[in-house]
Structure 1
Amino acid sequence: MRSRTKVLAIVLAGGEGKRLMPLTADRAKPAVPFAGMYRLIDYALSNVVNSGYLQVVVLTQYKSHSLDRHVTQTWRMSSMLGNYVAPVPAQQRVGKHWYLGSADAIYQSLNLIRDEQPDIVVVVGADHVYRMDFSQMVTHHLDSGAACTVAAIRQPLALADQFGVIDVAASDPGRIREFLEKPVDARGLPDAPGEVLASMGNYVFDADALVEAVTRDATEPGSQHDMGGDIVPAFVRRDLAGVYDYRDNVVPGATERDRGYWRDVGTLGSYFAAHMDVVSPLPVFNLYNFEWPIYTSNGPEPPAKIVAAGGHAADVDEAVLSPGVVVSGGRVVRSVLSPSVSVAPGADVEGAVLMHGVSVGEGAVVRNAIIDKNVAIPAGAEVGVDHEADRARGFLVSDGLTVLGKDHPFPA
């Protein structure tokens, strides 16, 4: 009977991502590039598809054009077998308003669940970097008898005030006793007093229980219509919520170093730090796990090319170079270069994330910076070397990083 359990996956991808500005000035947070070739949403979708769930809807809202285009062009399934990844924009099906929160997004999209009639609904966010086999979580959910299961990752007790924290009882550590939003007085786990279980924003529901919960929440006065803030606590109050410890998830091909990796890239600092995890000699997040690939598409980009030019030898180390990158006699260290980036002779790039089509001119210097799409850095210019000079030129300086948004003009 288990083998016939029907699962629908819902990816919540309507986030605005204000803390990632200016990277989200022209795109939704899940559409932000990550690790050169990919978009953030590719990680959530790859996890769902690798888990064997091939009927997937992506709920979009904020500045969703590039996100919808990427999903439509990249994530094509066999329609003959009934498989699909479908972007679904906000449609005002229940009134003249857009999504009021993640729970309201599902409520306004209940037609998708009614059409598919699944037994189980897997609900995941679209803006975290990790690998996870959701089929193991679904099996745990079915065995537990819970109507709602929340994926949780262990975090130090000292960081509890940064997360939604799951409190469990020593007598039944699989059940959620209380769901606490960024508590300042959290208690450690029964088996690890120095740790807490933090919600990952991934859930498994019995389909009928989810439909009932979001329908009831839609009429609750004072509700924020949020999955973590309203729906999960409602299940907890009825003793119907369980927890799944991410530590128990075993992904094929994972190494001891990158097993259990999960990064919330909600700020510019964490976004940059996650890129440094990728480029380290023994990567904390390994892009080269071919047993659990991260899927994407880049079109007809040629291979990356590294050549000596202008009397300068190319020097590249601890760097991720995407298709179409050309490093001509420049230096690139501890950096991630997206497709079609060019680095000219004598240029020096270190600790940088350069997105699609960025060009670094001859002799230019880039340090500790995030440069969005199509920015041209002139010959001899400096970015990230002097923060006061960067601010004077209208560049954003945040978390020790200099950040230039998409198509940002470089002042003379």
Structure 2
Amino acid sequence: MPIDEEPRVLAIILGGGKGTRLYPLTKERSKPAVAFGGKYRIVDIPISNCINSGYKKIYLLTQFNSASLHLHITKSYNFDRFSGGFVEILAAEQTLEHSGWYEGTADAVRKNFIHFKTQKPTHYIILSGDQLYKMDLRAFMNEHIRSGAEITIATTAVNRKDASGFGIMKIDENNNVTQFMEKPKPDMNIDAWKIPQEARGSLPKEKEYLASMGIYIFNAKTMEDMLGGENEKYTDFGKEILPLAIGKKKINSYIFDGYWEDIGTIRSFYDANIALCGPNPEFDFVGYQKQPIYTHMRNLPPSKINSADVNHSLLSEGCIITDAKIEKSVIGVRSIIKEGTKLSGVIMMGADYYDSEEEINEFKKEGKPFTGIGKNCQISNTIIDKNAKIGDNCKIGITGCKYEDGDHGAFYSADGIIVIRKDAVIPSGTEI
């Protein structure tokens, strides 16, 4: 296709599987629906990248815990009738041809061709629903068309240590992908897979290998060829379809040198959120005002701060914070934080509602905590999921106790991070 001919692009965001690595945040919601950065959901990142790049026909494929995600999408993304844009969820469904769940990323796309083909696309952009990055997808598409590739894989440069956690691409001096290797073992010699000098540009010296970002562009016909016929038994893009296409299709690498982070685990999710609190974070919501990250417009009141000490933190709208000390923390919408409480390194996802007068009176009678955090609490290294009720004088994440990864009742431990469950009730005086 000539570069001056406007392609008809469908963006497909993969919602992921059960999200076990992000459990318990994914106990009642899919990975893309997990709250991020105080007021957003993870899915807002890839959707905003699409919208800002001018691609407004977006399908989101999911099959686990999709109710919360569906509600967020419905409230957040409404295009006018003249734009032709949409964000539509396609959950796994039974049809006369297919009766099972999505069995992998490629299988999910294959089972939805019946919906995609009505848009008569010339190209598909495949995106992950649980990554943090900002990419000009139109530049990505233009490079794909300019190169004459049938498939383009977005790649990021990594060092040898990190290469063992990714699918690694071998390319020639013209960025053509010639080989693919899934997660090479740390002691394996992969010197022959280093990025050719002609393709390096200004990449850091220590980053000598190209890792797949799980972001692809396919020509529509190529996608149908690779997922149809004798290939119908293959279910995954990264492990099966792309290695199979090498040597049969022209595949290019698009080297992305901007910020990119996979936030699929509790530790990576926590670190990515806390990193937002720095004075000059690599991923900065404020710096993206010309290409904003979109989300649900809640029409909440401004946050009310009653004599608080807040440093290097993000505060979302609708909060009420009284005589508290907050540092290096992300505070979500409708968060209530009472007198004397100290938070350090806390991700507080906030609440879906404010307690009513009737509920407050009932909680008082029963001696139960209100939604939010009570008085004189000390909390550190903790994720507090939505609608949690934490009483007075609680100590969480500062007691020195070390917990095995796993379920501990009202809380969960993962990679040294305490996760207070959604809707959890933590009585006054609790120490975790």
For normalisation by structure 2, the TM-score amounts to 0.86
CA contact (8 A) 1:176 1:239 kept: no
Is residue 2:401 matched to residue 1:395?
Answer: no
CA–CA distance in structure 2, aligned partners of residues 356 and 164 of structure 1: 36
- Which amino acid is 1:96 matched to? S
Report sequence identity in percent. 32
Closer, same or farther: CA 394–405 of 1 in aligned 2, 3 Å: closer
CA–CA distance in structure 1, aligned partners of residues 161 and 387 of structure 2: 40
Partner of 1:306: 305
Report the aligned-residue RMSD.
1.8
CA–CA distance in structure 2, aligned partners of residues 123 and 389 of structure 1: 40
Is residue 2:201 matched to residue 1:202?
Answer: no
Counterpart of 1:92 (choices 86, 94, 97) is 94
Is residue 2:425 matched to residue 1:409?
Answer: yes
Alignment of 1:128-139 (within 5 A): 128-139=131-142
CA–CA distance in structure 1, aligned partners of residues 246 and 394 of structure 2: 56
CA contact (8 A) 1:71 1:85 kept: yes
CA–CA distance in structure 2, aligned partners of residues 323 and 232 of structure 1: 44
- Which amino acid is 1:198 matched to? A
- Which amino acid is 1:233 matched to? P
Closer, same or farther: CA 393–408 of 1 in aligned 2, 3 Å: same
Partner of 1:263: 261
CA contact (8 A) 2:49 2:135 kept: yes
Per-residue deviation at 1:237?
3.3
Give SS of 1:237's match: coil
Is residue 2:356 matched to residue 1:355?
Answer: no
Alignment of 1:5-404 (within 5 A): 5-93=7-95, 94-169=97-172, 171-172=173-174, 174-184=175-185, 185=188, 186-187=190-191, 188-191=194-197, 194-216=207-229, 219-220=232-233, 223=234, 225-247=235-257, 260-288=258-286, 289-308=288-307, 314-357=308-351, 359-386=372-399, 388=401, 395-404=411-420
- Which amino acid is 1:323 matched to? E
| Paired residues, number | 390
Gaps of 5+ in 1: 248-259, 309-313
Over residues 341-395 of structure 1, what are the superposed CA-to-partner deviations in whole Å (9 max), with x where a residue is unaligned? 1111100011000012261110011101001011111100111112538777753
Partner of 1:252: none
CA contact (8 A) 1:92 1:108 kept: no
For normalisation by structure 1, the TM-score amounts to 0.91
Closer, same or farther: CA 230–261 of 1 in aligned 2, 3 Å: same
Over residues 289-341 of structure 1, what are the superposed CA-to-partner deviations in whole Å (9 max), with x where a residue is unaligned? 21111000141211112113xxxxx1001110001111111011000011001
Closer, same or farther: CA 38–160 of 1 in aligned 2, 3 Å: same
Gaps of 5+ in 2: 198-204, 352-370
- Which amino acid is 2:242 matched to? V
Give SS of 2:44's match: helix
Partner of 1:255: none
CA–CA distance in structure 2, aligned partners of residues 67 and 307 of structure 1: 34
CA contact (8 A) 1:336 1:352 kept: yes
- Which amino acid is 2:411 matched to? F
CA–CA distance in structure 2, aligned partners of residues 393 and 70 of structure 1: 28
Give SS of 2:46's match: helix
CA–CA distance in structure 2, aligned partners of residues 106 and 180 of structure 1: 23
- Which amino acid is 1:212 matched to? D
Greater CA drift, 327-336 or 188-197:
188-197
Give SS of 1:374's match: coil
CA–CA distance in structure 1, aligned partners of residues 27 and 17 of structure 2: 12
CA–CA distance in structure 2, aligned partners of residues 244 and 389 of structure 1: 43
- Which amino acid is 1:13 matched to? G
Per-residue deviation at 1:408?
1.9
Per-residue deviation at 1:241?
1.4
Closer, same or farther: CA 38–153 of 1 in aligned 2, 3 Å: same
Greater CA drift, 328-337 or 156-165:
156-165
Per-residue deviation at 1:194?
4.4
Per-residue deviation at 1:146?
1.3
Per-residue deviation at 1:396?
2.0
CA–CA distance in structure 2, aligned partners of residues 301 and 99 of structure 1: 38
CA–CA distance in structure 1, aligned partners of residues 164 and 76 of structure 2: 38
Closer, same or farther: CA 387–227 of 1 in aligned 2, 3 Å: farther
Per-residue deviation at 1:80?
2.6
Closer, same or farther: CA 46–161 of 1 in aligned 2, 3 Å: same
Over residues 127-177 of structure 1, what are the superposed CA-to-partner deviations in whole Å (9 max), with x where a residue is unaligned? 1011001111111111111111000111112211111111113x43x1111
Per-residue deviation at 1:285?
1.2
CA–CA distance in structure 2, aligned partners of residues 55 and 96 of structure 1: 26
Over residues 22-58 of structure 1, what are the superposed CA-to-partner deviations in whole Å (9 max), with x where a residue is unaligned? 0000000010011011000000000011000111111
Closer, same or farther: CA 207–342 of 1 in aligned 2, 3 Å: same
Per-residue deviation at 1:239?
4.3
